[in-house]
Amino acid sequence: MSKGNELCNPARGEVAITLQGRRHVLCPSFAALAAAEAEGKPILALVEEAAEGRTRLSDIAHLFHFCLVADGKERRLTPAELGEAILKSGLAEALAAYRRLLEAALCGDRKEADGG
């Protein structure tokens, strides 16, 4: 079974999103976030922009591209392909997933930090 069809692991900060009828799992790992920063904006800049209501579709697609968990059978979607899929599926779910990814990157595992 491919990772995209499995349940995502919220404890790792993973977020599931359905784009054009296909389920994807996004994981904000260190490697994914570092790669996204290397080719785009710093994660903290994305957090600040989101907090100010200045989130851009291109930033969402860019972060999704790097956090997308590949199942080994299919190539990873490009940011442009993800942007098109987001538009066709509607921005609401994508924006919620984007914010959850940023929250996971910013806050980590709160249960562990809270001792429970």
CB atoms within 10 A of CB 30: 8
Average pLDDT rounded to a whole number, residues 25-52: 94
pLDDT band at 4 (very low <50, low <70, confident <90, very high): very low
- Calculate helix-pair angle for 91-107, 43-51, nearest 10 degrees: 120
List pLDDT tens digits, range 56-111. 999 999 999 999 986 556 678 899 999 999 999 999 999 999 999 999 998 886 55
Split into its structural domains, the chain has a count of 1
Q: Answer whether 89's CB lies under 8 Å from 18's CB.
A: yes
Q: Is residue 54 part of a domain?
A: yes
Q: How far apart are CA 88 and CA 14, in angstroms?
A: 23
Q: Is residue 49 part of a domain?
A: yes
Q: Where are the beta strands (DSSP E) in 1-116?
A: 15-19, 22-26
Q: Is residue 74 part of a domain?
A: yes
pLDDT for the residue numbered 46: 96
Q: Is residue 114 part of a domain?
A: no
* Domain containing residue 83: 3-106
Please give the C-alpha separations between residue 72 and each of 2, 17, 76, in angstroms, as whole numbers.
Answer: 8, 18, 9
Q: Is residue 112 part of a domain?
A: no
Q: What is the pTM of this model?
A: 0.85
Q: Is residue 101 part of a domain?
A: yes
